[in-house]
Structure 1
């Protein structure tokens, strides 16, 4: 939702190379990354792979933050440590699923307006 609002989306496009430049012009208005992946269906394949990794990453960060809190760590301190160490990833740094770590993301807004499981399934 935030990337769409800020025109920071990434588009993975499948289709003919001849038609790609037209699509790139239109999609470039909504996102900063437009990538031609190959023939019809390859854009969807790339999106499925990306969403799979995002889901795994979000689950990992969620479980890590939960464990740290249960072990008595301050969640903001834990997030800071993760983001300066080998655990750093987009889910921990930009879209942390633990409330109060990153302002403006769904976890800090009572999980409103986030990337729901229905979108992941899509």
Structure 2
């Protein structure tokens, strides 16, 4: 396996990044989730040598384990240790609904994650 030199390197979050996903509808839009309690949307076209600005930030109370786009690319699901699943949608991802989901197992051996079904109608939530 060969890898070239990195052209750019960005510190996108204050803490570790847990997931990266690309919007299937707009492949230049990327979502990241982090242990800093946020999930962020980024426009890769505007990421130069300086620190990029987020398109949108979804704030949770604790670490965000995952952020994944729906199959249509119109919604983003986030899961967090704060026991909430976030669904962000709208023309510019400006609307976020938080759904309570008790993921406290007192075992903390796996991550809390949501996976979209075959369309935007369902999201399946569990630990892996």
- The answer to which structure has the higher helix fraction is 1
Question: Larger C-alpha radius of gyration, 1 or 2?
Answer: 1
Question: Do the two structures share a fold, i.e. TM-score over 0.5?
Answer: no
- The answer to which structure has the higher strand fraction is 2
**TM-score band, normalised by the shorter chain?**
under 0.3
The TM-score with structure 2 as length reference comes to 0.21
